[in-house]
Structure 1
């Protein structure tokens, strides 16, 4: 008979520990990328890369990723032989025929700050200089330590801002990755019909 009150206390404590106080950011958000080749499900790590995730979700919620594409691919055959190589595919709002909207720049959350790494399936922000990322993102096809802070793939040593990971649909990612390309650009681009919260 004495077990029941104790169980109630433990149940209450467990629920209290798992609840999030009002206004706190969820630790993990999920989105689905609907493509012409199938769906890709992604976890976004808001606790580790809060500014990157917030900016990405703002674009998702505005539906700006609808009717865009995966347009660029880096593989072992289409990069200079004397440079560190990456294996990834890139998507977002960029389009050769129309200007993308001006969006806020995202403060650079490098992997030394977040503790995230560019592993197989990692989703990260494309950029030029640190702090210039806005809407373009890429997915790693294999482990890419050269894209981390201090890695060899970027001359400034700051690496890229990883903020999520593919949790379902890596077969779709690999299928897209193998599509025909010319000079690092998919020919034709692979449609992204939408990106939405799960």
Structure 2
């Protein structure tokens, strides 16, 4: 009898011991760090001879282009320049010439950031460049009057398909842009066409408080 009892206890002991083992605690997943907040969007006021235009710049999508534009704005480069190219149904372009169409000095060009996912839609602002030279943007910029997908990045293989870097948009004053687009134009100075017969002047550029994204 004792031997049978001992055998029974021996068989039950592992079950009892197993029953008292606490279940394994599952590992606590590591917390995913919060993404860095997007930088605030710089804003710039263009005070022109035909009204005011406010631009909001996309420093996250086009950091080099935005900083280049802001550097010229801080230096006062754009004060007294004109919209020298006005093409109805396409764009208005400015930033490089005085009212008598003398070119203003510029610094080294910045890389073309056209492959940033932003499209040349109506009201967007893009960096102008030499059509045949990809990384050639300096001071000049244009505002799209209509959606211009043909100006978007298509391929890096050629400057003719690399596109034009959008770096902001008009948030106030698009009606002023449309008024500029309606002025009479013609040939003048080194340009065979599209120059306003009465200069449209950027009288001054003012940096505004950035806005949170």
TM-score, normalization by structure 1 = 0.77
* Pairing partner for 1:170 from 165, 170, 174: 174
1:59 paired with 2:72, answer: yes
Q: Which residue of 2 aligns with 1:5?
A: none
Q: Does 1:108 align with 2:112?
A: yes
Residues matched between the structures, number: 164
Q: Secondary structure at the match of 1:59?
A: helix
CA contact (8 A) 2:85 2:194 kept: yes
Equivalent residue number for residue 202 of structure 2? 192
Structure 2 unaligned spans of 5+: 1-33, 187-192, 209-213
Q: Is the 8 A contact 2:86 2:180 kept in 1?
A: no
What is the match of residue 119 of structure 2?
Answer: 117
Stretches of 4+ moved more than 4 A in 1? Answer: 17-20
Tell me how far 1:47 sits from its aligned partner. Answer: 0.6
Q: Does residue 1:138 correspond to 2:148, yes or no? A: no
Matched, 1:42 2:45: no
Matched residue of 1:188: which SS?
coil
- Corresponding position of 2:17: none
* Cα offset, 1:69, TM superposition: 1.1
Deviation by residue 1:12-35 (Cα, 9 ceiling, x = unmatched): xxxxx7996xxxx83411000000
| Structure-2 separation of matches of 1:70 and 1:64 | 14
RMSD across aligned positions (CA): 2.1
Q: Structure 1 pair 19/197, CA: closer, same or farther in 2 (3 Å)?
A: farther
Q: Provide the rounded CA distance (Å) in 2 between the counterparts of 1:189 and 1:98.
A: 13
Offset at residue 187 of structure 1 (A): 1.1
Superposed CA offset, 1:144-195 (max 9, x none): 10110129xx972011011000001000000111001011111122011011
TM-score, normalisation: structure 2:
0.72
CA distance in 2, matches of 1:92, 1:163: 15
* Structure 1 segments unaligned to the other structure (5+ residues): 1-16, 77-86
